[in-house]
Amino acid sequence: MQKENIIEVRGLKKTFKKYERGAGLKSALKSVFKRKYKTVEAVKDISFSVKKGEILGYLGPNGAGKSTVIKMLTGVLYPEKGEIRCLNYAPWDEREKYVKNIGVVFGQKSSLWWELPPVDTYKLYKEMYEISDYKFNKNLKYMIKLLDIKDVSKTPVLKLSLGQRMRCEFISSVLHEPKILFLDEPTIGLDIFAKEKIRQFIKKINREKGTTVILTTHDISDVEELCDRIIIIDKGEHIFEGTIQELKNKYVCEKKIYVEFDEKPGRIKLSDCRVIRYDAWSADVFVDLKKRKVKEVVSELFRKYYISDITISEESVENIIKRIYLEAEKK
């Protein structure tokens, strides 16, 4: 069955004016009337769509335009050019109705009241999103357990650890069971334990409630564990769109074979391979996949040398993405 598109974006563009402003009242007053600025093309011309129930990883180096896109998708920023349909709404024009159906977590901005326990904020959102008592209590209990949160009812937010706080932040954005969840760097600065809890949580609500998730992150393991599909953006333009497997197919051109020898092999000679030796007893063999199959190289190795152990590994996704960023940087 073909799933429907829940988000559709066509020809999206956003330019910022960067004002040059001095400090102090005088220059501030001046800046109201006469202002110098540079323009920054944060998002150039972007089109894509997201299907219902998908988890999309939205990746890119710092300043690539991820947050700008997320802010336009969530109705915060006015899209300068192009068209956005989310859940059949135009996010900016129909903001108030639209945002009732979405949840958003900005990893660097808290939406909880610092001086009060999280539960006070939750109660506020209960009224805001018109959540019934039954649904509120059920969801809250379920999420506290799932995210392994210690105390939401007594401790003020400012006294929580970052890991606990982010988990509380998540609850505040999904209590109303949003159809789409936007996550802008939600795991930034968290320890492995908190990260893991949050990943499990995202997976669960995606599976159980069919929530569509758009995730930006710098943590590639988030992406590998969660995302069905990724988009890579750089300098405001998409430079890759597809599954992780498609990313590998497109960009991985080498595999590594680590070999340990029973007997010193002397000089190693293999065609279409790079061989790096660190000592007499072992070597890294990089196979150029465009020219040879790994299988062939392995059997050649066994034929020619006395081998005690062998490990085949491919380039990590993290490394691939790093390479893509670097290549884009050169252009």
Which residues in this chain contact Mg ion in the complex, by CB under 5 A? 66-67
Name which of 160 and 273 has its Cβ closer to other proteins.
160
Q: Determine contact, residues 112/172, Cβ cutoff 8 Å.
A: yes
Q: Which of 77, 175, 259, 297 binds other proteins (CB under 8 A)?
A: 77
Q: Where do we find the tokens 């930006």?
A: 216
What are the DSSP calls for 264-313, one per residue? ---S---TTEEEEEEETTEEEEEEETTT--HHHHHHHHHHHS-EEEEEEE
Q: How far apart are CA 233 and CA 238, in angstroms?
A: 4
Q: Does residue number 63 form part of the binding site for ligand ADP (CB under 6 A)?
A: yes
User: Phi and psi (nearest 5°) for 252?
Assistant: -80, 120
Q: Which helix (H) or strand (E) holds 162?
A: helix 162-174
Q: Structure tokens of 169?
A: 């932040």
Asked whether the beta carbons of 91 and 72 are under 8 A apart, the reply is yes
Q: For ligand ADP, which stretch binds (CB under 6 A), given 27-35, 57-65, 112-120, 251-259?
A: 57-65
- Interface map 96-125 toward other proteins (x if CB under 8 A): xx-xx-x-x-x-xxxx-x-xx---xx-xx-
Give 135's contacts (C-beta < 8 A, 6+ positions apart).
177
Q: Which of 67, 187 has the CB closer to Mg ion?
A: 67
Q: Which is nearer to ligand ADP, 2 or 62 (CB)?
A: 62
* CA proximity to 55, closest of 279, 283, 210: 210
Please select the residue that binds other proteins; options are 20, 83, 130, 329, rule is CB under 8 A.
130
Q: Of these, 12, 67, 136, 259, which contacts other proteins (CB under 8 A)?
A: 67
**Stretch touching other proteins by CB under 8 A, among 15-23, 138-146, 199-207, 319-327:** 15-23
CB of 295: closest distance to ligand ADP in angstroms? Answer: 41
64 binds, among ligand ADP, other proteins, Mg ion, none (CB under 5 to 8 A by kind): ligand ADP
Give the full edge-to-edge strand order of the sheet including 81-86: 37-51, 5-19, 81-86
Binding site for ligand ADP (CB under 6 A): 16, 18, 40, 42, 60, 62-68
Binding site for other proteins (CB under 8 A): 16-17, 21, 23, 25, 28, 31-32, 67-68, 71, 74-78, 95-97, 99-100, 102, 104, 106, 108-111, 113, 115-116, 120-121, 123-124, 127-130, 156, 184
